[in-house]
Amino acid sequence: MNYLEYYKHKENLNVIKYLKQYNLYNEGNFKSEEIKRLICLIIKNLRLTKLKRQEILESVLKELFENYRYDRDYEGETPLHKAYIQYRYCKKYIIDKLLKRGANINAKDNEGETPLIIACKYGNEKVVKVLVDYGADINKQDNEGYTPIFIACRFSRTGINIIDYLVSKKADLNIPNNESKTPIFELCLFKSEYIVNAFIENGVKINIINNNGDTPLKMGYLYNKYVINCLIDHSAKYYIE
């Protein structure tokens, strides 16, 4: 009996409970949507002490990649995307296993988001570092032109560790999105003078305009007075013709 069948038929009340919850119990075949749910199920069940964690994980991943040829679900998400989203249940060795089994670290979902972009969106510093250590492209853009560091600037409003880390890894700070905005525009909306200054020290361009004709200094005047002096000290312009 393979381990996908184990999850369906093993007389383990906890497993059966989850299988019924996700409508997987008594299913004859595993479809893409069901496998997506199964991956989340496996990650959750790693907390259950009765399961042979490493053995079951290794066997299930092997079957998903080799026997079922699972790559993407209908949203274009791969097991790596799911693993990083569910990281609070996930340990580093799961990421190791997925990558060693041939998972594409730079795979994009239907929104063009890579696992690294998703990790930045969720503010998950540990996952970001694991991905970068494994060689994730730190400048890869999604369908709207956002890079990982741009996403970090948008969503990590309560912390700066991910931003600092990506800067230290030489992320490109001047890649524009589809609206001709770069991360500095986002910083001028929500971030501190410290981060803006760090960007400037690492070569960010401050005398630029987006599709609306706005400059970073104009955004600072409108939304974030704390960055104004820093920008002016570095010769930022309010208007650019």
Overall average pLDDT of the 14-36 stretch:
50
> What percent of the residues of the chain are helix, what percent strand, and what percent coil, each to the nearest 5?
55, 0, 45
Chain mean pLDDT for the chain: 76
Of 174, 170, 194, 169, the closest CA to residue 184 belongs to 174
- pLDDT above 80 for 76: no
20: tokens are 């019924």
Overall average pLDDT of the 34-52 stretch:
56
209: tokens are 């305009």
Amino acid 61: pLDDT? 58
CA distance 234 to 78: 43
The model's confidence at residue 43, banded by pLDDT at 50, 70 and 90, is: low
Phi/psi for 198 (5° steps) reads -65, -40
Tens of pLDDT, residues 188-222: 987 778 889 999 999 999 999 999 999 999 999 99
- pLDDT above 50 for 89: no
Please report where in the chains the tokens 């409508």 appear, as a residue. 23
Of 94, 80, 163, the closest CA to residue 123 belongs to 163
Report whether 177 contacts 144 (CB < 8 A): yes
Exposure b/e, 123-145, CB count within 10 A at least 16 = b: bbbebbebbbeeebebebbbeeb
CB-side neighbour CA atoms (13 Å) of 147: 24
CA distance 184 to 162: 15
Tens of pLDDT, residues 119-162: 898 888 888 898 899 899 999 999 999 999 999 998 866 568 99
pTM higher than 0.75 for the full model? no
The model's confidence at residue 165, banded by pLDDT at 50, 70 and 90, is: very high
Amino acid 191: pLDDT? 72
- pLDDT above 60 for 168: yes
**Between residues 212 and 72, which one has the greater pLDDT?**
212
Report whether 65 contacts 29 (CB < 8 A): no
Amino acid 109: pLDDT? 84
Q: Is 86 exposed, middle or buried (0-12, 13-18, 19+ CB in 10 A)?
A: middle
Overall average pLDDT of the 74-79 stretch:
58
Report whether 53 contacts 45 (CB < 8 A): no
Amino acid 164: pLDDT? 92
CA distance 39 to 45: 10
Amino acid 226: pLDDT? 86
Amino acid 214: pLDDT? 95
